[in-house]
Chain A
């Protein structure tokens, strides 16, 4: 069943702050096999003009996707998550995420479309730091595939 169009434009309350830890960044950089010193060595990060180690460009997804859970699990929206695949992902950065950041995410449903029985949901996550400054915006497109034979 097509999702309710009246949810387009709905914004969910900001998430409680996520504190970005130096060791979490290191763990993520190791998991993607990326040895860039800016992720693990404070002095190397400072040499590039950053106050502390920074996170790889896609690190913040773990935070924005968790925040998008408020949308995905909204019983009123009624998305069938077992049939959901990740369609597109985009980030626009004002500055990199860095160790010590306390990040809060505000999720908004930007669009709902129905194509060939598939529900397509665009969620925008605005990420701000503790001082309220914008850090990054994440756009996530989720596709809920139509059940076979529907």
Chain B
């Protein structure tokens, strides 16, 4: 495991480079195939509305996968992530157009732990709403 960020280089409050991730209907279809999650709320507008959603929504696990990229890109080695958890607070609504939705992720070091590890707190927003709550990763640095 070779994270490219050294434990001694970071402080509580150190911000990781923020990133934005676009998501369209095509993205969701591709993710459904790759993940095996074919729940129609992620591709069938009629079905989504019938079960009380405003429109097709992104898979929560897709949003979770995007958010941690801020950490894995920063750390270099994805295996540096030793723990990762989120709460799905709001759905990411994906309109049927070429633009889709945007998932905006920021993150900062919230605590320095033992054993070269730090806790990173993530914030994921879409359309002005927080879509992940209690989003935290424990990362082992060099």
Contacts and interface: CB of A to CB of B under 8 A. Distances in A.
B78 A32 contact: no
B17 to A, nearest CB: 14
Interface string A122-142: 000000000000000001000
B83 A90 contact: yes
Contacts of B83: 90-93
B11 interface: no
Contacts, number: 100
A141 to B, nearest CB: 8
Interface residues of B, number: 34
| Overall SS of chain A's interface | mixed
B77 A38 contact: yes
B36 A66 contact: yes
A113 interface: no
Contacts of A57: 65, 68, 72, 78, 81, 84
Contacts of A65: 37
Interface stretch (A2-10, A48-56, A101-109): A48-56
A34 to B, nearest CB: 6
B120 to A, nearest CB: 12
A27 B81 contact: no
Nearest to A98: B79
B65 A56 contact: yes
Interface string B18-45: 0001000001001101111100000000
B73 interface: yes
Contacts of B27: 31, 33
Contacts of A91: 83-85
Interface residue tally of chain A, by bracket? 35 or more
A48 B30 contact: no
B134 interface: yes
A73 B125 CA distance: 33
Contact of B79 (A48, A62, A88): A48
A145 to B, nearest CB: 9
A58 to B, nearest CB: 4
Contacts of B64: 58, 89
A30 B27 CA distance: 10
A24 B35 CA distance: 9
19 contacts: A28-B34, A30-B30, A31-B33, A34-B72, A38-B77, A48-B1, A48-B76, A57-B84, A58-B68, A61-B35, A62-B35, A62-B36, A86-B88, A87-B88, A88-B86, A90-B83, A91-B84, A92-B83, A93-B79
